[in-house]
Each structure stands twice: as structure tokens, then as C-alpha cells.
Structure 1
Amino acid sequence: MIRNYCKTALRSLNRNRGYALTNVLGLTLGIACTVFIFSLVKYHLSVDAFHAKKNRIYRIVTENRLEQTVYSPGGPPPVGRAFREDYTFGEKAARIYVKRERLISLPHSSDNQKFLEEDGVAFAEPDFFHILDFPLVQGDKNTVLTNPNTALITERVAKKYFGDTDPMGKIIRLDNKLNFRIDGILRDLPENTDRRQEIYLSYGNLKDYNPWAGNDNNWLSYADELQSFVLLKPGVLPATVNQAFHDFSSKYYEGNYVKEWRFRLQPLSDIHFNPDFDGKVTKQSLWALSLIAVFLIITASVNFVNLATAQALNRAKEIGIRKTLGSFRKQLFWQFMVETALIVFIAIVLAFMLLYWALPLLRSVFEVPVMSIFFYDYHLLIFLPLLFLLITFLSGAYPGLVLAGFQPVLALKGKISERHTGGFSLRRGLVVTQFTISQLLIIGTLVIAHQINFTRQTDMGFTRDAIVILPLPTGDKSTVSTLRSEFSRLAGVERVSFCTQAPASESGNSFEIVYDTRTEKENYDVVFKGGDEQYLSTFGLELLTGRNLHPSDTVREYLINETLAKKLGVSNDGVIGKNAIINDTKGTIVGVVKDFHNQSFHTGIDPLCITTQSNWYNRIAVKINPSNLRRTLEAIAPVWKVTFPNHVYEYDFLDDQIARFYEQDYRILRLVQTFAGIAIIIGCLGLYGLVSFMTTQKTKEVGVRKVLGASIRNILWLYGREFVRLLLIAFLIAAPMAWWIMNSWLENFIYRINIGAGIFIMAVAITLVIALLTVGYRSLKAALMNPVKSLKTE
């Protein structure tokens, strides 16, 4: 029976190739996108889920409850040690300190090879590898990193540094300061982990590398890079530990600090998804992607139903003959379901071929870490049959019931009409569904694009064009003086400033402030930016009142922004000449600068200060004349390399750094743009098929109308008016839904666009033009047909 169904189905599809091709193409695109989204969502859900004891692994995070609560995935340096010593809740506890973009050199190599590691290094306590499962291929897990000046590296890094030579016992040097002996080799990191560091160093050397981070008595400052992981004992509830942390604060803090400093456990499963603690993606985003996949499958299935019910009229006589020869309704239904299943199966095969070919492109364009060998994923092997059954049922059940329900007498007499196939009203509803989904995606694309353009074009309060940021490995006075002199001589260099950060940066330092004669510190922290006397002119910051900083190597004076002056409750002029203690250092406020955005538009403008502190300077900002950009960059490189021969030269444009604030938003935009385009393509395939069917059904009507004097425009409107009405109905449904969804997305930005009428008008215009172009081609072909030939056709 099944063999007969398949043979008949193949014959039917061969006779109706246009119908089959349209459905296969639509379903292929829908399935390919759905599988891609499934793999992407599954990847994010699998991040760090491979650790054997994942349900007992937690990170100690910090909530600093000031005027506004500040969240940090890290904490003060002693937190991990104190938890280990004060409580018995943990089976293991370990601290880890990550430092990105570090220089690694091989001192014993013939040419002193140097490597700039973008993911940096991690100083880790030995128990870190008893909590998280990063297995060793060489070395003893129980002894690695217990001795000072020892290191672990991954297989990939070992290959990069030493080739085929055994790396065990070899020496690597960090930032031209500390040597470490390789004591073990880690298996290469899996793609689905947020821990990207491939070099681990003994935590005992942290105090030599960074005295602040290695200070076990420093309870009043914290850093995101310094984190503590714990493995709770079986049966210990995180709520119990969180309750105990109240006593923890009372023990190590006094006065108002007891209320301000709070610690709690964050589950390992929450780390990747929690934006408060630097999560990579939100679960809401994954739900949104999953919903888009559902939309695309619905769109492709709607195409199938539309075309299948329209095609049913052409198969009426076939059904009549089959029923006359004894076929039962159930047999006819399953015959059509087999045809549907065959089309869906072909579409799945083609979708996989498309994905296999396009996966490298998808990974690079969308910057998504979808696994390249997802074909061997057992989750996908479960998902695909379920998807196959779902699409087959959605696409084939209703048309199958319609076909099987034809009355044989009416079918043989050719009296089956549209009302017997559900009528055009059914197809109206399905087309409205397609248009609604397309317009939802188009409006979403337009809103995201407008917001990103807003971030690009809106004045941030400083100059960001043609400013190059260079690393400053050492900031001693003589080096700074020499570099300033050498750079200033170069043609094309307009300004040079030595600083800790650009005005806007993803990371920064915040400290308490005690203002003037007040005895208590303020209930907020102040962002601290180190910059020399050229900082304002290089970045084009506007000084509202007072004067600029005088040249100095130490903190003597402060510039503050308008926001800080307002928070202090003092006028811009009234704050000039007053003293302030920031980061335990007293200085005089000498000027107020106009507010500028110190982070992305996702957050507000923080109270901040700018001061001279040369021992903190780690960057050089060079303002270049745009007309001489290439020549100037070529001239800068040798000067820098001569000054720092033991370091790796690199540079970055400030506007590129700012663009990275919105990497996740760019990624979402590219995904939504692509899926919106595919939804439109699928919809157009369905529209073209429907119009083709309509022109066949209305051939005689068109001929009569033309004989009676109808113009080509009248004929085109005959076909187009119905779809224009449906599009407008879809818009009325999609617009309020899209407005609500996109307003929710825009709440992630403090500074954002308003969704105006222009976006909705543009969305409906785009859909209208695409629909009319699709309908217009086939309609024009019908309108230009010779009426004599049309009247002979039926």
C-alpha cells in the first residue's frame, strides 16, 4: 500500500512540477532557517552544561547597593578565601583572575617569539579544575598550579608556541615580567563554554603581577575580572548560603558598608544568560528566535495549504474517478499525505545540503558559534523527525481532507468550485497570516536598524573620528615624553594624549567620593578616568567652566562632568576650587566638562572625574588628520616599535571600539534582516503560485472583459486589489503587535528612538511593493494575452 502511495505521489508531482517546485523551495528555506535557529538556541542552552557537577556549581557575585544597585560578576579579592574558611557549605572553592589582551613571549626561543593573546590569561587556584571540568591530557590534576610560577596551556596553544616539541617544562613569560614553567596541558576548550582563556597561571603569583588583586585584606573594592567559584556539598541549598552571606557582610564591613555590600550565589546555568552579570545573551532573545522559527514554518506551511487547496480544483476529476473505482475517503486522504510527506522530505534534504554549504558563511556573517558538525547531534536527530511530522501535518491535513471529501458525481461533471475547497475566504485568511508575519519581521528590522543608526549618528559628546588608540606598555615619565615628542613631529598627527581609557569604554574604575567639608561619602561611586592635559583637546571634550588640568604625574586636580556636579547639589561655578577625595586621593576640582556618554546608549551617563595619574596610563590616543590617515599610520608604527621592541604592535580606531558596544545588537539585526527576507521570499513564492492559479481559472473572464473594453490597468487591478486589501488587513494586525514587541526591546536602551508612524508606513510600503511586483508579473502576462485565444482556452 505504501509503495503504491509513493509511486502515485511521484507521478502526481511529476505532472504538477510548478506546484511541487514552489512548495519545495518555500519549505526548504523555512526548514533551513528553523534548523539553523534550533542549532543556535541549542548551542546557547548547552554553554557550560557539560560540567559533571553543574547543578552544584555557583559563582559568588556582588551587589553594591548604592543610590542604584551596581552588579558585578566578581567581588573583593578575599571573598573566595573567606567563604572557604568561614563556612562548611562548600566542597571546593576557587578564585580566578582574568586579564585580557596579554603579551606572552618565549624567552628561550631563538628570536624571543611574542604572541598577543586576545582572550588573555587567568590566574587560578588549583581547585578551579576540581570544580569545572577542563580535563588535562598531560600533568597531574591534583598538583597543577599548586607551586608558584607554574602554568597550564591548552593543546592548541602548545602547538602554536612549540610546534611538535613536548611543551612540558618549557618557559613562557607574561608581559615581559614573570616567567612560568608549563606544568600541564589542557584538552582544547569546547566551543560551548564562556571560559575562553587558554593559559592558566598559578594564583600564588597574582600578588606579584597585580598587588591590588592579590591583596587578601582588600574588602572595599572589587573587579569583574576577579571571580570566585564554589562547589556546594550535596544537599546544601543556595538559599541557605545566601542567608548566611548577611552575616558575612556584618563580619567584614562596618557602618553603612554593612548594608551596601551584599553577596549571593549565581548558578552556573544562569551565568550565560544574566545581563546584570555580563551574560552573553538573554533567554528572551532565544525565545524570540524560536518564535521566528515558528513563524517561518507557519509561513511555508501556509504556502503549501494555499497552493494545495487551489490545486485541488485541477484534481477533481482524478478524485472522482478514484472514488468511482472504489477508493475510500481514508485512502485518498493518506494518498495526499504521502505526497505532502514526500515534498517535506525532499525539502529537508535540500535544507541540509543548503546548510552544509552555507554554514561557514553563516558563522562568519552572523558571528554565531553554531557547531560545524551539528549533523551528528542527537538532539537534532530527535528534532528533525518531529519537525517532519509537524510540517507534514500542518501542510497536508486540511488539503487532504478537502480532496478526500469531494463528491464523485460533482467531480466527474466538473462542477467542483472554490467553495468546495474552502473557498477563497480560507486562502484570504492564510495570506493575511503570511503578510502579518512578514510585516512583523519587517517592522522589527526597521526599528533595530533605526536604533543602531541612532547610536552611530548621535553626538556622544566627544570626537570619535580619526582617533587611533595604541597600547602603552610602560608609562614612565621619560618614555611618555619621548613618545609625545616623536609622534608630534609626524605629519598628520594633530593631538596626542596619554590616558587610561577613551571617554567611552566598556570597562572602567569607579570609586567613592567625599566632597569638600562633608564628613560622609556620597551614596554613589564616581567613574575615574586618567588623562593628561591633552585629553580634552584630543577627544574634543567641551569645558563648561573653570580651566583644564595642569601637567602633572600625580593626582592634584580633578575635572568633573555635569552629572557629578548635579549629584553633589552644587552649581557648575560653585564646585570650582572645592576639594574632593576620590580613590583615597585628595585633589582640587578645577573645571566642569559637558556631559558625554561614557558607555553605550544601553546605560545612562555616570558621574565621573578626569585626573592626571601617569602610573595608570596604559593607552595613547592619537588624533590624525583624516586626509593623511594611511601615511600617518605607517609613520606611527616604527616609532612605537623602536620604543617598545619587546611588545606586539597593534592599534584600534576609537569608532571601532564604540561599534563593539553594539555587537549583540548588530548580530540581532543581521539575523532578523535575513529571516525577514526569507519570510518575504516564501510569501512571494506562495503569492506567485496563487496568482498563477487565479490566471488559469480566470482566463475566460479576462478574455470577456478585454472584448468588452477593459484596459490592461483594469485587468491588473482585478488581480491586485484582493491582495492589497489582505495586506492592509495584515498591517492592522501586525502594527500593534510589532509596536509592543519592539518597545519592549528598546527598553534595553536608556537613549533610544521613538517608534514613529514613518516606520510603519515604510513597512507597509515595502510589503506592498514586493507583493505587487510578485502579483504584477504574472497578472501582466495574463492581461496581455490575446482575448481570442483566451476565449478558446476553456
Structure 2
Amino acid sequence: MLKNYFKIAFRNLKRNKSYALTNVLGLALGIASAVLIFALVKYHLSFDGYHSKADRVYRITTEFHGEETTYSTGVTSPLAETFRSDYPLAEKVASVAAIPDRVIAIPSANGTEAKFEESLAFAEPEFLDILDLPLIRGNKQSALRVPNTALITERIARKYFGGADPIGKTFRVDNIFSVTVAGILKDLPVNTDRPEEIYVPFEHLKQHSPWMVEKDWWFSVSRSLQCFILVKPGVTPARIKEALIAMSKSHYNAKDAKYFQFRAQPLSDIHFNPNLHGPVEKRNLWALSLIGVFLIITACVNFINLATAQALKRSIEIGIKKVLGVQRWQLFWQFIVETAAITMLAMVVALIMAELSLPYVNQLFDVQVKLHLFSDVYMLLFLPALFLVMIMLSGSYPALILAGLQPVLALKGKLSQKDAGGISMRRGLVVMQFAICQLLIIGTLVVAGQVRYSRQADMGFRRDAVVMLPVPNNEITKLSALKAGLSGITGVENLTFCGDAPASEFAPSTSIQFGSRPKAEDFGISTKAGDANYASMFNLQILAGRNLMPSDTVREFLVNETTVRKLGLAKNQDAIGQTAVMNGYKGTVVGVVKDFHNKSFHQGIDALYITTLRDNYGACAVKVNMANMNATLGAMKDVWAKVYPNNVYKYDFLDDRIAKFYDRDRIILNLIQVFAGIAILIGCLGLYGLISFMAAQKTREVGVRKVLGASVQSIVWLFGKEFTRLLLIAFVVAAPLGWWVMNNWLENFPYRISIGAGIFVLAILVNMTVAVLTVGYRSVKAAMMNPATSLRSQ
């Protein structure tokens, strides 16, 4: 019998090619979207889950409980050793410092050097036991214990040494120390938040960045210096928290213990915690999953609309079968098998679409997802489950309706809309489609507006045509040579040496003790190192006092308006001439600058100061003339290479650097745009199904109206007023829900756009335009039909 069902199913599909093609396309779009979304969500949820002891691995982080609570992925330098010796909760404890963009110099036989930039990890040996970093060559007992040695991955070995044996090869790090390759690590999987591929012993951090590892100093935290622990079996997070609280109390006074608080972050949380720079929030994954569910629902709605629209065409077939004794349940399963056949074809098309679109998805969303359709156990479970769900959602209602048709009415041709499932159900389904489309359109418009605002809004400083160059060595002679060379280039209008641009993703914070006040303030203050040209270069407005005088050491401070306000001063002028101690440096406040955004619009403006501290100059910001940009950039590269011949040249524009603050928002925008477009396309198919049903039901009415002199426009409106009502109902449903969802999303931005009426008007206009184009074709076709043909068909 099943064989006969399939024969009948394929015969009907062959006879109704347009119906079959529309259904296959609609279902395929929904299935392809669901498969890609499932792969994206699974990819993110899998991060660092491959470590065999992942459930017992934690990273210790720091919370600063001042006026506001801030977070750091780093810890103080003595924390790891203290936890290891004083709190017997962990099997292994390891400090690791990952520092990006290190210059690796590989000597060659002819005396030249090949230079690369890589992230470098300074790690204690126990780190190899905490995370799974398989050593495929070398001695694990001595790994990261012997000075001047290094572990590199297979990929780095191929990159640096080609086919030669890498063991025993030497390279130099930042022109500070040399190491010999002592071991080869297995290549890292893509789903890790620890992408470093070069490991050197932790003790070399003293040579490279001595300020990070000041012994017994509990008041300095670098986000790069992190501590990982592998707790003993049975140790609960509550016990770790108690130990960390006790550690704070034993190494700080009561006030500082309240300010410096340490937390244990599970390894599984690292990828998803935005406060600690996790790249993805879990709520975004759930939102993405919900979009996938919506797309599946809209695809199934299309099928139901089109299937029930075909019901009356098959009424005679059903009537004859019932007269001949075919049972209702047999008819039900016949139509379920037809649904399964269509879904099977749609599944094949969907998988092809997903595979073909995957490279574009990876590029668009900055991921490295792979579809292991026949080897991934989760995918092998997901696809059959999705197949069955699609069949039941799409086929059950039409099958019940078709199997329940009355044979007498069917053979007499007296079936009505009510007998074929009625139009109320289809109206409700299309309203649901419209609402989903409008919700996604509203989301797209809001996210796009906020991203555009973030990139274009005035941040309070000059950022256009500013090129940021690295300063690998800030000795006076090097800085002077670089300044002289750059200043002589036609097209260079201004420059300054600084720690970073006025806005940076990570701003170090310190304490401030102001004037004659006996103790430090309760709030932290962000630090900016910049020479005397910093304010003029970035067009910072000095509201009171004067600019910094040229100096290589800390003598004077500029502070912003927020600092003045947090200090409780009545006016800006009250800060001028006062002494202050910040980050251990004593100086005089000589000026107050107008507030500018020192971070992204996700965060508020911090209290901050600017001072001349040459030791912290790690960048040179250059204002260039855009008229002859290529020649100017080429000349800048030549000057820089002469000053720093042992380093790798690179540059970026400040505007591009600021745009990276909003990469996460850009990815969200890409996601919602792509799937909103798919939802609209699926919705168009749903509208086509509804209008097809209406046209079939109103064939005689249209013929009568035309005979009586009705115009094409009036007949088109006969169909148009139906979808207009549905569109307005959907808008009433979607608008408040869209406002609530997107208003909650905007709460992440202290500086944000407002959701005005224009967004909702534009959303409904977009949906209306799409609907008019979709409905217009089918309704005009019905209106143009010869009335004699229309009347004879009834």
C-alpha cells in the first residue's frame, strides 16, 4: 500500500508542477535556514567543549566594585601562586599571559630574517595539563620548564620551517629573547577561545613585560595575565567562591577587599560572557534559534495554504475513492505520504542550498562552520527529526481536511470554502507570517539604525583620516627619528605619540587621590598617555586651564568633565592647579577637556586623565590628507621601516578600528537581514498560496462581475482588500512586540537611537510593497480571465 501511496503522490506532483515547485521551494528555504542556524548555534556551543576535563576547568577573573562594577579577564600577578599554595582545591593551577601581535624573527642561512606577527602565550607547565594541548613531539616532562625553549603547533611549524624538521630550530621574539623549538603541539581546532599557537615558559614574561609579574603586588591587574585552575573532583563553585573571598580578605584591607573581588568563571562560560569579552551572548543564540523556528513555521504555513487551496481541485478524486470504499484513515495517510514526498525533495534541495551558501555564511558572520551532514551525530539526529516535524506540521491539517470531505458533495461539485477548511484558518496563518516578517523588518531597521549611529555619531574627537602606526620601541632617539621622518612627508598634517587613540576597546583604569584629600576616591579613572600634541591632534576641546607642556615624564594632567563631576567640584576651574596622584604618579591638573567617548557606545564615558608618559607610548597617530593617500601611506611605510627595521610594519585607520567595536552588532545585523529576507521570500509564497485559493473560490464571482461591467481595478481590489486587512492585523500584533524586543536590545547602549514612529511606518511599507508585488500578479491574472471561461468552470 505504501508503494501505491508514493505512486499516487508522484503522479499528482507531476500533474501539478507549479504547486509542487512552489511547495518544494518554500519548504527548502525553511529547511536550509534551519540547518544553517542549527550548525551556527552548535558551532558556538561547542567552543572549548573538546577539552576532556572541561567541566572542572575555571578561569579566575577580577571584579572591581567601585562606583560601578567593572570586570577583567586578568588577575594580579601573585594570585596563582597564592591559590596553589594556600587553597588545596585544585589539582593544577597555571598562569598564562597571551599577548597578540608579537614579532617572530626566523633567521635564514644567508643572514636575513623572515618576520611574522603572531599571538604568543607565556605559560606555566601545568597549563598543558589543564587544557588539552596534545604534544605530538617533544618531552612533556620538560615542556615549558626549560628556559629559552618553545612549543609550536604543526601549522606554525609548516609556516616557519616548511618541510624541514622544526625541532632544534631557533627564532627571536620581539628582538628581546631567543627560543629553540623543543616540541610540536597538535593543531588547534577552530572552536577554541585560546588560539595561541606559540608557547614559551612563563618566566620569560619577566624579560618581555616585567610590570605584569611584580611579585607580591596585589593592586595591578592586566587583562592579559590570566589564571586557570583544574579543580579536584567534587569541588563545587561555592567552595571556590569562598576561597577567593577569603583570599581577598587576607591580602587587602576591608575597603580594598570590597573593591578587588575574584571570581571563578567556568570554561564553558568564556565564549558567552560579554562582561569578560566573550564574542557571543547566549541570548543571541536563543534568539537565532527562535528565528529558525519562525522560518520553519512560515514554510509550513505556505504548504498548508497551498495544499488546502488544491483541495477543491481534488474533490472528485476523493469522492470517487470514498464511494469505492477507501477509508478516511487511508486517505489521511495518502496525503501524509504526498507531504513526505514533497518534504523529501525539499530536504535534498535544502541541503544543496545549505552547502552552496556555507562559504558566504562563514564570511558574512565571521565563523568557520562546517556541515558534516553524514558524520556529525547531532546533525544525523537533527535532520530526521526536522523531516518528521515538517511532515506533521505541514501535512496533518491538509490531510485531515481532504480525508474528511463528504463524497456526495464532492461528486456534485457543491463543496464550499468551509468544507475545504475554510478561509479563517488560512487568514490566521497568513497573519502569523505577516507578523513574523514585520517583526524581523522592525529588528533590521532598529539594529541598522543603531549601528549607523554608532559609526557616524560625533564621539567628541577627530577620527577621520587618522592613521594609527605601532611604536615598537619608544626610546627618545627612535621617537625623534620617526617624528622627523613623518613630518617631512607631503600629506602628513599632524601627528602625536600616545598609548592609544581617545577611544579604545580596553582602557586601563587606576585610582586617583585628589588634592589634600586623605584617601583615594571611590571611583577608578582611565589613563591615556599622550604627548603635548595629543589634544590638538584629536581636536579635544580644553574647557578650562591649558594644554600639557612637552615632557617625557609625568608632571601634569588633563582630566575630563566626568572626572570633575565625580570629584564633586562645582566647576571645571576648581580642578586647575590641584595636585593628584594617579597610578602612582604625582602631578598637577593643568586643564579640563570636554567629555569624549573613550569606549564604544555600549559603555558610558569614564573619568579619565591624559598625561605625558613616554614609557606608555605604543602608537603614533597621524592625520593625513586624503588627496594623495596611496603616495602618503607608501612614504610613511618607508620612514617607519628605516626607524624600526627589525619589526613588521602595519597600520590601520582609526575609523576602521572604531568600527570593530561594533563587530558583534554588525554580525547581529547580518543575521537578521539575511533571515528577514528569507522570511519575506517565504511569506511571498504564502501570499501566493492564499490568493491562489481565493482566486479558485471566486472564479464564478469574478466572471459574473466582469459580465456586469466590473473593471480590472475593482476586481484586483476585491483580492487586495483581503490582504490589506490581514497586513494591518499583523502590524497590530508585531509592532508592540517589536518595540519591546528591540527596546530591550537597545538597553545595552547608554547612547542609542530612539524607536520612533518612522521605523514602524517604514516596516509596514516594506511589507506592503512586497505583498502588493506578490498579490498583484495573481489577482491581475484572475481579473483578466475571460468571463465565459470563468462561468463555464463552475
Where on the TM-score scale, by shorter chain, does this alignment land: which range?
Answer: over 0.9
Asked if 1:274 is matched to 2:273, the reply is: yes
Q: Residue 46 of structure 1 aligns with which residue?
A: 46
5+ residue gaps, structure 2: none
| Residue in structure 2 matched with residue 12 of structure 1 by the alignment | 12
Matched, 1:709 2:698: no
Provide the C-alpha distance between the structure 1 equivalents of 2:346 and 2:114, rounded to a whole number of angstroms: 50
Q: Distance in 2 between matches of 1:476 and 1:421?
A: 85
Quick one: structure 1 residues 793 and 332, their matched pair in 2 at CA, closer, same or farther if it must change by over 3 Å? Answer: closer
Secondary structure of 1:256's partner?
helix
Long gaps (5+) in structure 1: none
| Equivalence for 2:672 | 672
**Which amino acid in 2 is paired with 1:330?**
W
Letter in 2 for 1:561: N
> What residue in structure 1 maps to residue 80 of structure 2?
80
Describe the superposition over 1:566-598 as per-residue Cα deviations: whole angstroms up to 9, x where unpaired: 111122111111111111111111111110000
Deviations 1:232-269 (A, max 9, x none): 11111121121122221122122521222111211111
**Does structure 2 retain, via aligned residues, the 8 Å contact 1:108–1:171?**
no
SS at match of 1:98: strand
Q: Does 1:519 align with 2:552?
A: no
1:504 is matched with 503
Are the structure 2 counterparts of residues 219 and 109 from structure 1 closer, same or farther at C-alpha, using a change threshold of 3 Å?
farther
- Structure 1 residue 322 displacement after superposition: 1.0
Distance 1:425 1:12, change over 3 A: same
Instruction: Find out whether 1:441 has 2:476 as its counterpart.
Output: no
Residue 785 to residue 329, structure 1, CA distance change in 2 (3 Å): closer
The equivalent residue for 2:383 is: 384
**Shift, 1:353, TM fit:** 0.7
The 2-side partners of 1:308 and 1:425 are apart by 15
Secondary structure class of the residue paired with 1:481: helix
Displacement of 1:792 after TM fit? 4.2
Say which is worse superposed, 368-377 or 663-672, in terms of deviation: 368-377
For 1:212 and 1:478, how far apart are their aligned partners in 2? 23
Residue 624 of structure 1 corresponds to which residue in structure 2? Answer: 624
Q: What displacement does 1:492 show?
A: 1.1
Q: CA 1:109/1:742 → structure 2, altered by over 3 Å: closer, same or farther?
A: farther
TM-score, with length taken from structure 1: 0.98
Q: In the alignment, what sits opposite 1:567?
A: 566
Contact 2:309 2:689 survives alignment (8 Å):
no
Match of 1:175 in 2: 174
- 5 Å-filtered alignment, 1:643-658, equals 643-658=643-658
Alignment correspondent of 1:257: 256
Q: Is the 8 A contact 1:105 1:112 kept in 2?
A: no
State whether structure 2 residue 396 is matched by structure 1 residue 397.
yes
Please state whether the residue corresponding to 2:633 is helix, strand or coil: helix
Name the SS for the 2:136 alignment partner.
strand
Q: Does 1:200 align with 2:199?
A: yes
Q: Partner of 2:171: helix, strand, or coil? A: strand
Task: Find the aligned partners of 1:110 and 1:408 in 2 and give their Cα distance.
Answer: 93
Give the alignment of 1:134-533 within 5 angstroms: 134-373=133-372, 375-533=374-532
Alignment of 1:576-725 (within 5 A): 576-725=576-725
Aligned equivalents of 1:436, 1:499: Cα separation in 2:
51
Code of the aligned partner of 1:19: Y
1:429-480 C-alpha deviation (Å, 9 max, x unpaired): 0100110111111111011011111112210001111000011111111221
Shift of 1:328: 0.7
Give the 3 Å change call, closer, same or farther, for CA 106–269 of structure 1 in structure 2.
same
The CA deviation at 1:71 is 1.3
Query: Distance in 1 between the 2:682 and 2:283 partners?
Result: 26
Q: Distance in 2 between matches of 1:351 and 1:372?
A: 13
Structure-2 change in CA distance of 1:165 and 1:84 (3 Å): same
| Segment of structure 1 superposing worse, 239-248 or 227-236 | 239-248
Q: Give me the whole-angstrom Cα distance separating, in 2, the residues matched to 1:113 and 1:706.
A: 86
Contact 1:504 1:658 in 2 (8 A): yes
Which residue in 2 is equivalent to 1:765?
A: 765
**Does the CA contact (< 8 Å) of 1:475 and 1:615 recur in 2?**
yes
* Secondary structure class of the residue paired with 2:380: helix
1:525 Cα deviation (Å)?
1.2
What is the alpha-carbon distance in structure 2 between the residues aligned to residue 240 and residue 466 of structure 1?
A: 53
DSSP-derived class of the 2:501 partner: coil
Amino acid in the other structure paired with 1:193: T
Task: Give, in whole Å, the separation in 2 of the partners of 1:323 and 1:791.
Answer: 28
Post-superposition offset of 1:688? 1.7
Counterpart contact for 1:340–1:396, Cα < 8 Å: yes
C-alpha distance in structure 1 between counterparts of 2:423 and 2:240, whole Å: 64
Q: Is this contact kept in 2: 1:152–1:199, CA < 8 A?
A: yes
Paired letter, 2:28: T
Q: Which amino acid aligns with 2:413?
A: G
Question: What is the distance in 2 between the residues matched to 1:554 and 1:669?
Answer: 45
Separation in 1, partners of 2:485, 2:500: 21
Kindly indicate whether the alpha-carbon contact (under 8 Å) linking 1:19 and 1:689 is maintained by their aligned counterparts in 2: no
SS in structure 2 opposite 1:573? helix
Cα offset for 1:111?
Answer: 5.5
Query: How much has 1:788 moved relative to structure 2?
Result: 4.1
Cα separation, partners in 2 of 1:109 and 1:152, compared to 1, 3 Å: farther
User: What secondary structure sits across from 1:221 in the alignment?
Assistant: coil
How far 1:664 moved relative to its partner?
0.6
Identity %: 56
C-alpha deviations, 1:168-195, integer Å up to 9, x for none?
1111211111111111111110011111
- Alpha-carbon distance between aligned partners in 1 of 2:62 and 2:607, rounded to the nearest angstrom: 21
Alpha-carbon distance in structure 2 between the residues aligned to 1:406 and 1:430: 21
The separation in 2 between residues aligned to 1:733 and 1:139, in whole angstroms, is 64
Aligned letter for 2:434? F
Q: Is the 8 A contact 1:39 1:374 kept in 2?
A: no
* 1:615-647 alpha-carbon deviations (Å, 9 max, x no partner): 211111000112222221122111111111111
Query: Where do residues 18-167 of structure 1 align in structure 2 (5 Å cutoff)?
Result: 18-108=18-108, 110=110, 112-117=112-117, 120-167=119-166
**3-state SS in 1 of match to 2:83:** helix
Q: Note the alpha carbon deviations across 1:754-783, whole angstroms, 9 max, x for none.
A: 111111111011101110111011212222
Higher mean alpha-carbon deviation, 503-512 vs 726-735, is at 503-512
Contact 2:562 2:595 survives alignment (8 Å): yes
**Displacement of 1:94:** 0.4
Q: Which residue of 2 aligns with 1:539?
A: 538
**Residue in 2 aligned with 1:754?**
754
Letter in 1 for 2:71: Y
Which whole-Å CA distance do the structure 2 matches of 1:145 and 1:568 have between them? 47
Quick one: distance in 2 between partners of 1:649 and 1:61?
34
TM-score by length of 2: 0.98
Query: Displacement of 1:606 after TM fit?
Result: 0.3
SS of the counterpart of 1:545?
strand
Aligned-pair RMSD on alpha carbons?
Answer: 1.3
Partner Cα separation in structure 1 for residue 638 and residue 783 of structure 2: 71
Range that drifts further, 625-634 or 379-388: 625-634
